[in-house]
Homo-oligomer: A and B are copies of this chain.
Amino acid sequence: MSDTTVQFEKLALIGIGLIGSSIARAARQHGVVKEIVCAARTADTRRVALELGVVDEAYENVADAVKDADLVILCTPVGTYGALTEEMAPFLTKGALVTDVGSVKQTVVEAIEPHIPEGVDFVAGHPVAGTEKSGPAAGFAELFAGRWCILTPSGKSREEAVEKLSAFWTALGSNVEKMDPKHHDLVLAITSHVPHLIAYNIVGTADDLEEVTQSEVIKYSAGGFRDFTRIAASDPTMWRDVFLHNKEAVLEMLGRFSEDLTALQRAIRWGDGDALFQMFSRTRDIRKQIIDAGQETAEPDFGRTVPNEDE
């Protein structure tokens, strides 16, 4: 499919959900690895991953999966990283590179790094890509194409290992950026974590109303609400862990969001049309820039074509 040189002999994916299975498909498509195995706790996940052909072998235990692997990627919810690394550590091969895909980086580096044995490299990473779907069947090879992957090397990360990981993500189609873990967590708090939180929140608020029925919320969701239900359909375990592990930055950004919302609320209460107009006028430009940067479709309404049940 591609003439990329093989970069790794054996890739071990710890967890094979949306992200893990997309890495497997992309790595296979671009010919970056020779062998792909995974570890997954539940038998059904292992069966699906094998049936889909995204991995060559699927193991219950991480110890079995990481054996002889020269690239190990943690693709489970971030709350599991510390214990999993501790569990796999004795079985890691000398010269192996360990990384992760977690949406939080500072606590992740702190949880993983102490368990990494001598002679094994660790470089934390975060591909900023995903959909609202979960599980091995939801993955696809193009998920990372044109998306950014942020690497957050710690003081201990060897430059050579950072470059190897950077080449891996580049081969999968990503643009790679390096960043301090703490800054990563602040950037992602506003570009990802708080957006998810307020999406989950408004869907919950709508669900709780007694004056407006759920059937009304569903029927008239095309007025804007339905947009929020997409990211509010994301994996609950993954997102619970994100908020527990990026507490400080999320609370900081949430505080700013709430402060700004209070100002808008006040403008509505006092009928300050100029303040509202001014606020609503500055936001179009940001979308245009996101589209120009290749991070969003220019099609109106996301280009979604909505099935019409009556036709």
Contacts and interface: CB of A to CB of B under 8 A. Distances in A.
Interface residues of A, number: 119
B128 A264 contact: no
A286 B214 contact: yes
A225 B201 CA distance: 15
Contact of A204 (B191, B209, B283): B283
A194 B288 CA distance: 23
A243 B222 contact: no
Contact of A279 (B200, B301, B302): B200
A138 B300 CA distance: 9
Given A195-B224, A300-B132, A311-B145, A186 B212 contact: yes
Contact of A277 (B202, B240, B294): B240
A204 B253 CA distance: 12
A91 interface: no
A197 interface: yes
A175 B310 contact: yes
A276 to B, nearest CB: 4
A192 B267 CA distance: 18
A258 interface: yes
B203 A190 contact: no
B220 A206 contact: no
A31 interface: no
Contacts of A300: 131-133, 138
